[in-house]
Chain A
Amino acid sequence: DVKVTQSSRYLVKRTGEKVFLECVQDMDHENMFWYRQDPGLGLRLIYFSYDVKMKEKGDIPEGYSVSREKKERFSLILESASTNQTSMYLCAAGRAPQKLFFGSGTQLSVL
């Protein structure tokens, strides 16, 4: 079975900390995505990448950056965490128009 693995299920950080969320896929997919999920807002795209070292901004990139040094790994970075970045973060991999495969999510709390 295909697999998208997010490094942490729950994470608690303090305001101002630098936070790394890691995502690894084993499917050799070019496209990888980071979403955040908030009640009533659904999934909002933060960044996506369609190849190694390539990245594109999604709908809400402010306060985030990403890194894709290897095809299988896509990292989301919060340069200076803030309380409004408390959310569920979902990583996905896939190839449009085929389906996306999602990780289990990381629930980040910024205190």
Chain B
Amino acid sequence: GDSVTQMEGPVTLSEEAFLTINCTYTATGYPSLFWYVQYPGEGLQLLLKATKADDKGSNKGFEATYRKETTSFHLEKGSVQVSDSAVYFCALTTGNQFYFGTGTSLTVIP
């Protein structure tokens, strides 16, 4: 079945460090791919998405490229801030259902 595997955390970085959170997927058909973010005490909110191969999603300095050949959608940011501390979820959908990874907790220290 469809599934998402993402890098386990927790991840701790210093402010202005480079961030990569790995995500790979298994899907039948042609999935849309997402990164969601969950700030402390809140629900999930969409960070970025890509709907077809080679698309790049971007938002708030975060980027991810839909790589069909490697079935990956890695999240990157060139310079993280303390305010980026949150849990990040990779997700996909091929139909009515959405499938989420287990989440990666990021803590950014000043």
Dominant secondary structure at the A interface: strand
> B100 touching A97 by the CB < 8 A rule?
no
In the assembly, what is the distance between CA of A43 and CA of B89, in Å? Answer: 9
Which partner residue on chain A sits nearest B44 by CB separation? A102
Within 8 A of B (CB), among A47-97: 48, 50, 56, 58, 90, 92, 94, 96-97
Within 8 A of A (CB), among B78-100: 89, 93-98, 100
> B93 touching A41 by the CB < 8 A rule?
no
Q: How far is the CB of B54 from chain A (nearest CB, A)?
A: 17
B23-36 CB mask vs A (1 if < 8 Å, else 0) is 00000000110101
**A110 at the B interface (CB under 8 A):** no
Chain A interface bracket (under 10, 10 to 19, 20 to 34, 35 or more):
20 to 34
**B109 at the A interface (CB under 8 A):** no
Which A residues touch B97, using CB under 8 A? 45, 48, 58, 96
Which B residues touch A102, using CB under 8 A? 36, 43-45
Residues on B close to A: CB < 8 A?
A: 31-32, 34, 36, 41-46, 49, 51, 89, 93-98, 100-103
